[in-house]
Amino acid sequence: MPSLIQLLESLPIAGVNHIIFNLKYGRRPVQEVIQELGEEVVPHFPALASG
């Protein structure tokens, strides 16, 4: 997942504000992938504070 994290960190520099993961055609169960993303990727991207 480090390369995915690096890619996601570079996207704002290119002006990207939102992304979509299309898991429909993956080989792994969707629930497993979502759990892994939540545990391994999401913690690197804390929510922005509103205010």
Number of domains in the chain: 1
User: Is residue 34 included in any domain, yes or no?
Assistant: yes
Q: Per residue in 22-45, is it b (16+ CB within 10 Å) or e — as a string? A: eeeeeeeeeeeeeeeeeeeeeeee
Please state the separation of Cα 24 from the chain's center in Å. 16
51 assigned to some structural domain: no
Residue 7 maps to a domain: yes
Task: Please state the length of the chain.
Answer: 51
pTM of the model: 0.78
pLDDT (tens digit per residue) in 1-51: 789 999 999 999 999 999 999 999 999 999 999 999 999 999 999 887 666
Full domain range(s) for residue 28: 2-44
Confirm whether 49 is domain-assigned: no
Asked whether residue 22 is domain-assigned, the answer is: yes
Asked if residue 13 is part of any domain, the answer here is yes
